[in-house]
Amino acid sequence: MKRLIFLLVGALLLAGCNVQENDPVGNQPERVDGAIILPDKAEPEDTVELKTVVTQGEEQVADAEEVKFAVWKMGSEEEAIELKAVHEQDGMYAAATEFNEEGIYFVQAKIDAREQHVRPLMQFIVGELTEEEIQEFMNSKQKEEKNDAEEGHEHHHH
């Protein structure tokens, strides 16, 4: 054991400079984040303002390369529409759209800023939900939860 330690200490001394440089995870730029702001409630045909505040740490990011919103109704992701958002002030980007029908929608902010890509996703309800829609939604939710509970450990290596 002692000999092993000596050997390793020796190796360590040789590698001294290397170790210094090795700052685990620390040398990465601070994370860009986006918060989506939506009204509490919306009715069909209303014009709804979609907003996102882009930040990097404490700093508001006003120089994002591109901010878009993708909007789709639950179950029809392939028909998603994309809206280009414009910078209003202090890192807030906005776009406006109309939701044609009642139902559960998804609003995703696609933010490309400072060489990072974040795409926060929010669920948004328009009008009143039918019982059927709620049921369908709950079913998909339940499956998800079941999935989380079922997932086993991932075995790796030998």
Which residue ranges make up the site for another protein (CB under 8 A)? 1, 3-5, 8-9, 11-12, 15, 18-19, 22, 24-25, 27-28, 31-36, 38, 40-41, 77, 104, 106, 108, 116-125, 128-129, 131, 134, 137-138, 141, 146-148, 150-152, 154-158
Query: Quick one: residue 138, left, alpha or beta (phi over 0 = left, psi -120 to 50 = alpha)?
Result: alpha
Closest CB 137 distance from another protein, rounded Å? 6
- Cα–Cα separations (whole angstroms), residue 48 to 107, 131, 154: 11, 24, 44
Nearer CB in complex with another protein: 64/125: 125
CA dist 98 and 45 (Å) reads: 6
Nearest Cα to Cα of residue 36 among 70, 10, 1, 82 = 70
Nearer CB in complex with another protein: 18/47: 18
Nearer CB in complex with another protein: 71/125: 125
